Each structure stands twice: as C-alpha cells, then as structure tokens.
C-alpha cells in the first residue's frame, strides 16, 4: 500500500480478476464456431484452437478489448447507417467491422508502409460473403514518422472483376475445405502452416512444440533426391 498526504492507494486484485474473467467469457463466446478469421492466417494454429482449446493469454485479452473499442470509435467516425454486419457464408461465420453496401475492414499496425496479404484476403472473403465487388481496407498506423508526411489513417479501395472474384471464391473454398477436414478429423496436421515473417506467428503459439514435431515428421517422410519408390 502506498500512502500520500491526502490518500491511500493499493492494487485491488479482486477487481482485476473479475474483469479478466468477464473478458475471457466474452472472448470465448466470440471464438465459437468457424469464422473467416480462422482461414486467413495460420490455419493449423486455428485448427489446434478448435481441437485443443487453451485459455487466452492476458495479452490476447488486451488485443480483444482494444479491438472492440476501436470498432466502436470507427463506427462513430464513419457516420449514420454504417454498422457491423454478421452472417454466415458457405458454412463459415463472418463479422464485418463495418458495412456500407460493401465491407470495410479496419486494421491497426505499427508498420509504416506495409499492407499485409492476410488483411487483403480477409477483406476479399467478406466481399465474397456479401456479393460485393468492392471493399475498403481502413488502416490505422499507430507509429507514424516524425515528419507527419505519411497518412495516419490510409484507406485502400479493393476491387474485383468477375474473373478475380471467381479466383478468390476458389481460394476460399479450398481453404475452407482444408480447415473443415482438419477440425472434423481432429487432425491439425492436415491444415497448412503459416509461420509469418520471422516466424512471428509461432513466437507465442501454445501449439508450437506439437507443430514443430509435425513438420519434423513431414520432412522425414519426404522422398530424398534420387530415392526410388518401391512397387
């Protein structure tokens, strides 16, 4: 307990525990079912979460809360009639940050110029789900340069012609079927791995040891150069 001339202050663990528990309940509720977000990054990690769920970390809960607050703030900035849109598309649930006749996906990043490929895939999957040929990726860069020349809230318009729309529809179906197969059979090894730049997806993954064992086994079973196949 810390005392000053005019007040006493101490950390209250009871309140912190209650807040974290409520956040965990909300996070778990949000993760029920299969979502578009399960198909856009490491599907093996997402499959493991379905087969062998673990309690979310405090950091994950913090991300969840930050995302919810950003969502509310951005809705108010976009104005009346722009709201979240939820639904199901070919057996996969989706929750679009904002919908204004087309999907608007909001992302926050510390990077100053990068637009991640999985952001685009997620937005396009929302476009497929809503039958829209247009979507907007709204980015918030939280570490802009000191000269203030770069945009703090760059927005990117994404458009698909009919051939591109069909290409991404096939991509969605293939990834969906792969994920469903892995989860229904309870075999995360059947889902493709995505480690990210510098193995960033693996750094805090609770399934990394099991996943590394899967990859080691896959390498051992690969046919060596010049090896003959027995008949």
Tens digit of each residue's pLDDT (9 = 90 or more) over 9-18? 888 888 888 8
pLDDT(176) > 90: yes
Calculate Rg over the CA atoms of the chain.
Answer: 21
Supply the DSSP string of 45-108, one letter for each residue.
Answer: HHHHHHHS--PPPHHHHHHHHHHHHHHHHHHHHH-TT-EEEEEEETTEEEEEEEESSSEEEEEE
pLDDT(167) > 50: yes
The band of 229, judged by pLDDT with boundaries at 50, 70 and 90, is very low
Q: Mean pLDDT lowest for which of 3-12, 52-61, 160-169?
A: 3-12
Residue 34 — left, alpha, or beta (φ > 0 → left; ψ -120 to 50 → alpha)?
Answer: beta
pLDDT(231) > 50: no
**Residue boundaries of the structural domains of the chain:** 43-210
pLDDT(154) > 80: yes
Its pTM stands at 0.81
CA dist., res. 153 & res. 138, Å (int): 7
Q: Which of 125, 122, 117, 128 is nearest to 162 (CA)?
A: 128
At residue 151, the pLDDT reads 75
Helices 58-78 & 13-30 angle (0-180, nearest 10): 70
Q: Mean pLDDT lowest for which of 72-81, 169-178, 208-217?
A: 72-81
Q: Mean pLDDT lowest for which of 143-152, 157-166, 220-229?
A: 220-229
Top-tier CATH class for 43-210: alpha beta
Angle at 125 between CA 32 and CA 132, to 5 degrees: 125
* Residues above pLDDT 90, as percent of the chain: 47
Residue 158, classed as helix, strand or coil, is strand
Cα dist. 129→44, 57, 95, 149 in Å?
23, 31, 10, 36
Burial class, 165, CB count within 10 angstroms (exposed 0-12 / middle 13-18 / buried 19+): middle
């Amino acid at each position: 307990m810390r005392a000053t001339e005019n007040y006493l202050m101490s950390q209250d663990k009871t309140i912190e525990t209650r807040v974290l528990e409520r956040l965990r309940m909300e996070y778990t509720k949000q993760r029920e079912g299969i979502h578009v977000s399960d198909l856009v990054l490491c599907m093996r990690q997402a499959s493991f979460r379905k087969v062998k769920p673990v309690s979310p970390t405090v950091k994950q809960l913090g991300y969840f809360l930050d995302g919810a607050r950003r969502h509310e703030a951005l809705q108010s900035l976009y104005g009346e009639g722009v709201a979240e849109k939820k639904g199901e598309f070919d057996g996969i649930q989706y929750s679009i940050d904002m919908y204004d006749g087309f999907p608007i996906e909001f992302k926050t990043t510390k990077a100053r110029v990068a637009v991640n490929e999985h952001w685009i895939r997620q937005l396009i999957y929302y476009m497929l789900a809503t039958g829209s040929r247009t979507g907007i990726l709204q980015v918030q860069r939280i570490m802009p340069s000191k000269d203030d020349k770069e945009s703090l809230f760059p927005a990117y318009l994404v458009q698909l012609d009919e051939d591109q729309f069909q290409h991404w529809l096939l991509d969605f179906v293939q990834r969906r079927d792969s994920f469903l197969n892995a989860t229904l059979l309870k075999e995360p090894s059947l889902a493709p791995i995505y480690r990210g730049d510098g193995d960033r997806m693996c750094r805090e993954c609770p399934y990394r040891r099991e996943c590394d064992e899967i990859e080691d086994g896959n390498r051992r079973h690969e046919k060596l150069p010049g090896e003959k196949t027995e008949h």
